[in-house]
Amino acid sequence: MKNRLMGAAAAAAFSVSSFFGSIAHAANIDLAFIMDASGSVGSGNFNTAMDSLADALAASIPVGGTDTYRIGVVTFSNNAKLTTLKTISNQADLDTVVADIKAESFIGSTTNYKAAFDLVRTSFGALGASSIVNMMTDGEPCCLSSSNSDAVSARNALKGAGWDSLSFESVTSGADNAFLSRLGFDTAGDGATIIDDAGDITDPLNDAFVLKVASFGDAYDQAITTKVQKIVTPGVVPLPTALPLLGGGILIMGFIGRRRKAAAA
């Protein structure tokens, strides 16, 4: 009798655990990183930023987990280039993405946000369950043939393609409302905010914001590392540890009650 009850308890606990575990579903997550390679950034800062991005991805993107990540990186200056685009199915895929990022060359010309936004939109195509575009830029305004209005239109087309969020690291320049306006954000109606500390990042998969970063190097490294970690683990509220046990106890009591009724009959 005791062994049967113990077995019932274990089965009930397993059943409740399985129920709560089924709440989490596998998802395909698209991550696009746009990296400014214009002359105002400089080759040294660009290479440092690319190394920081590569290291952040290598350290935080899970391989073989519940979710599947597709990672694309676009570098841009007067035009845009697709540095890498790969679905991460195994460690070799992630290693390839990291190597592609670290090997990318600096362009060093003018700034064309439109080209970058357009290339992300056309390269990814159909999107997964969650998607985020992240841009690193020093915030210099558009020049060349791409006007500010062109950049806004391209940014809106990107948003219309289904991307969940577009956020920025504004490095060394003032991330003010003028910067947001150049890129098509309305701080009152579009949910975009300006934050000063990477620790204030909440859920980059859903929140539009500009993160002010003081400099390339350690400051940018911390910013992109924090953001990638928040993308992978966006602060899910944990299930109270007592809840599965409570549910299991209820099932066990019901089982015992049924046995007692059967014995009395």
Residue 174 confidence (pLDDT): 56
Query: How far apart are the C-alpha atoms of 167 and 46, rounded to whole Å?
Result: 18
CB 190 within 8 A of CB 208: yes
DSSP state of 97: H
Residue 221 confidence (pLDDT): 95
Domain-embedded: residue 5: no
Residue 200, token pair as written in the block: 């204030």
Q: Considering the entire predicted model, what is its pTM?
A: 0.76
Is 80 exceeded by the pLDDT of residue 22?
A: no
Q: In this structure, what CATH number is given to the domain that contains residue 213?
A: 3.40.50.410
Residue 55 confidence (pLDDT): 97
Domain-embedded: residue 264: no
Judging by beta carbons within 10 Å of its beta carbon (0-12, 13-18, 19+), is residue 85 exposed, middle or buried? middle
Give 67-86 pLDDT, tens digit per residue. Answer: 999 999 999 999 999 999 99
**What's the whole-number mean pLDDT along residues 196-209?**
79
Give 241-260 pLDDT, tens digit per residue. Answer: 344 444 445 445 554 555 55
Residue 11 confidence (pLDDT): 38
Domain-embedded: residue 16: no
Range of 49's domain? 28-232
Residue 197 confidence (pLDDT): 84
Nearest to 168 by CA among 218, 229, 213: 213
Residue 226 confidence (pLDDT): 92
List the beta bridge partners of residue 253: none
Give 89-115 pLDDT, tens digit per residue. Answer: 999 999 999 999 999 999 999 888 899
Query: How far apart are the C-alpha atoms of 225 and 218, rounded to whole Å?
Result: 10
Q: How many folded domains does the chain comprise?
A: 1
Looking at per-residue pLDDT, the higher value among 240 and 249 belongs to 249
Domain-embedded: residue 14: no
Residue 200 confidence (pLDDT): 83
Nearest to 142 by CA among 167, 106, 118, 166: 118
Query: How far apart are the C-alpha atoms of 179 and 3, rounded to whole Å?
Result: 69
Cα 112 to chain centroid distance, Å, stands at 24
Domain-embedded: residue 263: no
Domain-embedded: residue 175: yes
Judging by beta carbons within 10 Å of its beta carbon (0-12, 13-18, 19+), is residue 143 exposed, middle or buried? middle
Domain-embedded: residue 103: yes
In this prediction, residue 239 has a pLDDT band, given cuts at 50, 70 and 90, of: very low
Domain-embedded: residue 77: yes
**What's the whole-number mean pLDDT along residues 219-224?**
93
Is 60 exceeded by the pLDDT of residue 51?
A: yes
Query: How far apart are the C-alpha atoms of 102 and 46, rounded to whole Å?
Result: 10
Is 50 exceeded by the pLDDT of residue 156?
A: yes
Residue 81 confidence (pLDDT): 97
Query: How far apart are the C-alpha atoms of 84 and 109, rounded to whole Å?
Result: 21
**What's the whole-number mean pLDDT along residues 11-24?**
33
Judging by beta carbons within 10 Å of its beta carbon (0-12, 13-18, 19+), is residue 13 exposed, middle or buried? middle
Looking at per-residue pLDDT, the higher value among 58 and 186 belongs to 58
Residue 95: helix, strand or coil by DSSP?
helix
**Cα-Cα end-to-end distance for the chain:** 18
In this prediction, residue 184 has a pLDDT band, given cuts at 50, 70 and 90, of: low
**What's the whole-number mean pLDDT along residues 227-240?**
67
User: CA angle at residue 243 from 240 to 245, to 5 degrees?
Assistant: 125
